[in-house]
């Protein structure tokens, strides 16, 4: 595996993924019962924006653009930005970006647990040193996240879990197959868990078979949120991304569709055809609960 997220930290895909993640965690921790948080591809934890990320500058068109926005962000986006800024107190600017394990650790409670999988030993060592060494709630596994997080570690003792599936997609079609196989096993072990799957959008039609397959999984409900910063019609660059959520918590879709997702689409638009979508792939009461936002584009001038 050659992928290093250090080059892409804080870009528009991270923004969508992390706003969604923090909103999911806020809703799932509203109950007193403990929660297990699992990741299949956890990464390094914290990324230096003055290092590899500066070579691409992608964060400037992602989190950097949000921080420079003149409009007031919705509460879910404000929560995310506050979490990012907390890692930059006293730095005089934005120089570090917290990844999903660190963001999750910042909002999870004493009774919750974080089980983080990372296949690259060097990256796992960064995560262990930066997070697990000072947080007894955290355990890092140098392992295949599909097998470990969606098989060996399910069901957790807490009997409640949010699993983030966030692979590098070096071979996209093959990755989709692996995700679906792992999710089937995970759902067999913990049918009531919440599973969030991040996926890239280059040419939107390419993802249709994968989304249809997600809808066919044995779950009560499946929702997808998508954000594209330019028209999703080129296979040569990352035009947007999506987060599919199996068994989403109550009203997660409403908050996204009526508040933070359209705001992000407007704030991050980088070209013709930028827009967003909040769409039910499967709903336990589809007749009474249609998608809150049909496919929609917010075109830039």
The pLDDT mean for the chain works out to 90
pLDDT tens digits, one per residue of 108-148: 999 999 999 999 999 999 999 999 999 999 999 999 999 99
How much is the pLDDT for 55?
Answer: 61
Q: Averaged over 209-216, what is the pLDDT?
A: 97
Q: Averaged over 11-40, what is the pLDDT?
A: 97
| Stronger pLDDT, 64 or 8, i.e. the higher one | 64
How much is the pLDDT for 296?
Answer: 41
How much is the pLDDT for 116?
Answer: 97
pLDDT bracket for residue 91 (50, 70, 90): confident
- The CA angle 2-207-254, to the nearest 5 degrees, is 110
pLDDT bracket for residue 294 (50, 70, 90): very low
**61-75, 149-163, 260-274, 287-301, range with the lowest pLDDT:** 287-301
**76-85, 89-98, 278-287, range with the lowest pLDDT:** 278-287
What pTM was estimated for this model as a whole? 0.92
Please identify every residue annotated as catalytic: 166
Domain 16-46+106-297, what fold?
Rossmann fold (3.40.50)
Q: Is the pLDDT of residue 256 over 90?
A: yes
Maximum distance among all Cα pairs of the chain, rounded to whole angstroms: 52
Residue with tokens 């039910």, as numbered in its chain:
280
């Amino acid at each position: 595996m050659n992928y290093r997220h250090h080059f892409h930290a804080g870009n528009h895909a991270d923004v969508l993924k992390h706003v969604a993640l923090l909103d999911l965690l806020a809703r799932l921790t509203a109950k007193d019962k403990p929660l297990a948080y699992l990741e299949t591809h956890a990464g390094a934890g914290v990324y230096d924006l003055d290092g590899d990320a500066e070579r691409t500058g992608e964060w400037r068109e992602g989190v950097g653009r949000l921080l420079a926005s003149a409009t007031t962000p919705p509460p879910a986006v404000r929560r995310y930005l506050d979490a990012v800024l907390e890692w930059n107190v006293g730095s005089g600017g934005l120089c570090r970006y917290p990844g999903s394990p660190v963001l999750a650790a910042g909002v999870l409670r004493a009774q919750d647990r974080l089980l983080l999988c990372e296949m690259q030993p060097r990256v796992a060592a960064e995560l262990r040193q930066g997070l697990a060494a000072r947080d007894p709630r955290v355990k890092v596994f140098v392992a295949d996240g599909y097998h470990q997080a969606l098989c060996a570690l399910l069901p957790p003792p807490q009997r409640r879990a949010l699993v983030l599936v966030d692979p590098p997609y070096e071979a996209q079609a093959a990755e989709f197959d692996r995700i679906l196989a792992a999710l089937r096993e995970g759902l067999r072990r913990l049918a009531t868990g919440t599973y969030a799957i991040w996926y890239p959008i280059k040419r939107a039609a390419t993802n249709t078979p994968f989304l249809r397959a997600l809808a066919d999984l044995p779950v009560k409900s499946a929702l997808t949120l998508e954000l594209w910063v330019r028209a999703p019609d080129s296979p040569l660059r990352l035009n947007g991304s999506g987060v599919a959520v199996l068994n989403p918590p109550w009203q997660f879709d409403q908050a996204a569709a009526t508040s933070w997702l359209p705001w992000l689409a407007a704030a991050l638009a980088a070209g013709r055809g930028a827009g967003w979508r909040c769409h039910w792939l499967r709903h336990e009461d589809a007749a009474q609960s249609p998608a809150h936002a049909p496919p929609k584009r917010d075109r830039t001038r």
